[in-house]
Structure 1
Amino acid sequence: MTLNHSRAVALMLLITLMWSIAGVVSRHFEAARGFEVTFWRSAFNVLALVVVLGALRGRALWRDLRHGGWPLWASGLCWMVMYTNFMLAITMTTVATVLITMSIAPLLTALFSRVFLRHAMPLRTWLAIAVAGAGIAWMFGSQALAQNAGGGSMAGALVALGVPIAGASNFTLLQWLHQRHAADPAVAEPEMLPAVLIGALLSALLTLPMALPFQATGHDLSLLAMLGLVQLAIPCLLVVRVAKVLPAPEISLLGLLEVIFGVLWAWLGAGEAPGATALQGGALVIGALLANEAVALRGRRLAAQPVPTA
């Protein structure tokens, strides 16, 4: 799939929309809890990825797995942490608390890109991250404080912290591989799509012993199968492609929209009304994203204009 910057941004918005449904769907399970939820979602993800990647890559999929080297397996470990920690955290605490914790991803990604890739961040992106972060804090800060005051467990937030750390590491690794290949085309860029499969398989194997005995109903399994395909397999494959076009900090910044979408789904589908502060904070996040993309688009259009000659 050939992507320019604008199409990559639009695709990233679709990806965040698909990612965001996990919270509201998890509120409709009948019996599945904790590690069992994580196992089934990862297991269904494995099945979906085997079918999709088998169709896309054919026999080359197994060659990619054998010859991908350490970057492929490092990325797979990052995916495993993201898959496992996110769903566990969702079953341990509120959707809002998990999403607050995940909202630090742009800051971590920018920091990792700066430290490991020497990536020069434009001022507009730093400002957008700051404004978006303020919006997230404004939306959910009072809810998190109220939860803590009422004795709510922060274990879920600590588990969720692994998601932005692993995500920032993964996006930075993908960017490094792409930049290395761009600087020296003789250095092959490994196919990283199989890393998504590796992460799902490791997550399922890790959580299987703790998921027993199974209690999920047929209703639960249907929802978990949908999550494995729509909320994980498809968007995670797409984001690997997007990472070849968009810089890691921009991907992470756009990923903040998962917070907005996730709260909206929880509001409409589970009766978790966000309140006025959430709506105000959401406006800050969306405004920061739109402003950042508008400035970037204007800069690209100016750069593409021919220079007048005397």
Structure 2
Amino acid sequence: MTHRRAVLTMVAATLMWSIAGVVSRHFEAARGFEVTFWRSLFNGVALVVLLSWLRGPKPLAHAIRTGGRTLWLSGLCWAVMYTAFMMALTLTTVANVLVTMALGPLFTALMARFALGHRLAARTWAAIVVAGAGIAWMYAREVGGSDARHLVGMLVALCVPIAAAVNWTLIQHNRSAAQQDMLPAVLIGALLSALVTLLPSFPFEATLRDLALLALLGTVQLAIPCLLAVNVARSLSAPEISLLGLLEVVFGVLWAWLGANEAPAATVLSGGLLVLGALAGNELLALRERRN
């Protein structure tokens, strides 16, 4: 996969990830842990179908049984990301969660630097800072943390960028070392997340409409883009993947505007432009470097 195609594929993945907010606005009864359970369960079902189609059922089962520590650690990271995001939303505001998650590119860059010895170009460090500032500016007026519940929610949300940083670094290390198939890790994460949230989800209250929407999230918002992201990790660096992942926030705002009539404030629009400018500038400078 060329660098340009990898970037476009990652953008498509973030576009699919970003529909979670607007779709969740249309739930009738499903809330909290139940949303996480059904989303993860449908994600797991979709991944079994997709991976069996890509790899075959026997090779998939064999890959999971013999995957080793790296595959299962990556699966655990996916499970933490799936679960902590929804748990954090039940404890604090969406703004607090998104601003906390914006730390992802910085954590990933630092982990790749110290764990793998990767040196980042100055343009990428600058893009991380500018994009992070853009996310903070988007939600500066809405961030609240004086309540102990908000603090707990932000600590839970912090698990998402930490797990993501570990995950992308593991996948990057695997790319340069064993070349192991890491796609089954996404399935392991989905199954672990569903298992952990099963009991707290009782009693189930989701309607048929809710289940249809959760199936959409499990398939289109999680299964397909997560597989794409793992595949892209063979061509892009871990910090670049994490940086492009911030587009999820920008796209999420647009979806809420178009699909739920939630018009963004001026600060959200200007912050979004900062994020887009940082990402576009980083990619344009990278393209110039490759041509030279």
Please report the TM-score for the alignment, with normalisation by the length of structure 2: 0.96
Say if 2:159 is the partner of 1:169.
no
Q: 1:112 and 1:77 mapped to 2: Cα distance?
A: 17
Say if 2:227 is the partner of 1:230.
no
* Alignment map for 1:37-116 (pairs within 5 Å): 37-58=35-56, 59-116=58-115
Q: 1:94 and 1:102 mapped to 2: Cα distance?
A: 13
Name the residue aligned to 1:204.
Answer: 194
Which residue identity does 2:153 align to in structure 1? Answer: G
Deviation at 1:150, TM superposition (A): 8.8
Deviation at 1:91, TM superposition (A): 3.9
Name the residue aligned to 1:158.
Answer: 155
Deviation at 1:160, TM superposition (A): 1.5
Conserved 8 A contact 2:93-2:150: no
Name the residue aligned to 2:230.
Answer: 240
Q: 2:101 and 2:275 mapped to 1: Cα distance?
A: 14
Q: 2:24 and 2:87 mapped to 1: Cα distance?
A: 11
Q: 1:99 and 1:259 mapped to 2: Cα distance?
A: 7
Name the residue aligned to 2:121.
Answer: 122
- Structure 1, unmatched stretches of 5+, are 181-187, 303-310
Name the residue aligned to 2:7.
Answer: 9
Q: 2:151 and 2:121 mapped to 1: Cα distance?
A: 35
Deviates further, 213-222 or 83-92? 83-92
Name the residue aligned to 1:274.
Answer: 264
* Alignment map for 1:28-39 (pairs within 5 Å): 28-39=26-37
Deviates further, 47-56 or 81-90? 81-90
SS at match of 1:30: coil
Tell me the number of residue pairs that the alignment of Structure 1 and Structure 2 aligns: 291
SS at match of 2:141: helix
SS at match of 1:127: helix
Indicate the structure (1 or 2) with the bigger Cα radius of gyration. 1
Name the residue aligned to 1:306.
Answer: none
SS at match of 1:29: coil
- Superposed CA offset, 1:50-92 (max 9, x none): 1111111112111111111000100000000011111222344
Relative distance call for 1:210 and 1:151 in structure 2 (3 A) is closer
Deviation at 1:209, TM superposition (A): 0.7
Q: 1:246 and 1:290 mapped to 2: Cα distance?
A: 15
Relative distance call for 1:151 and 1:178 in structure 2 (3 A) is closer
Conserved 8 A contact 1:23-1:90: no
Deviation at 1:151, TM superposition (A): 9.0
SS at match of 1:54: helix
Conserved 8 A contact 1:8-1:242: yes
Say if 2:261 is the partner of 1:262.
no
Q: 1:144 and 1:53 mapped to 2: Cα distance?
A: 40
Q: 2:230 and 2:134 mapped to 1: Cα distance?
A: 27
- Superposed CA offset, 1:151-210 (max 9, x none): 983433222211111011000000011122xxxxxxx42111100000000000110011
- Superposed CA offset, 1:127-150 (max 9, x none): 1111111111111111114xx479
Relative distance call for 1:144 and 1:232 in structure 2 (3 A) is same
Conserved 8 A contact 1:26-1:91: no
- When the two chains are superposed, the root-mean-square deviation of aligned CA atoms in Å is 1.5
Conserved 8 A contact 1:40-1:225: yes
Conserved 8 A contact 1:23-1:95: no
SS at match of 2:29: coil
Please report the TM-score for the alignment, with normalisation by the length of structure 1: 0.90
SS at match of 2:229: helix
Deviates further, 194-203 or 91-100? 91-100
Identity %: 65
Which residue identity does 1:35 align to in structure 2? Answer: F
Which residue identity does 1:217 align to in structure 2? Answer: T
Conserved 8 A contact 2:91-2:149: no
* Alignment map for 1:132-143 (pairs within 5 Å): 132-143=131-142
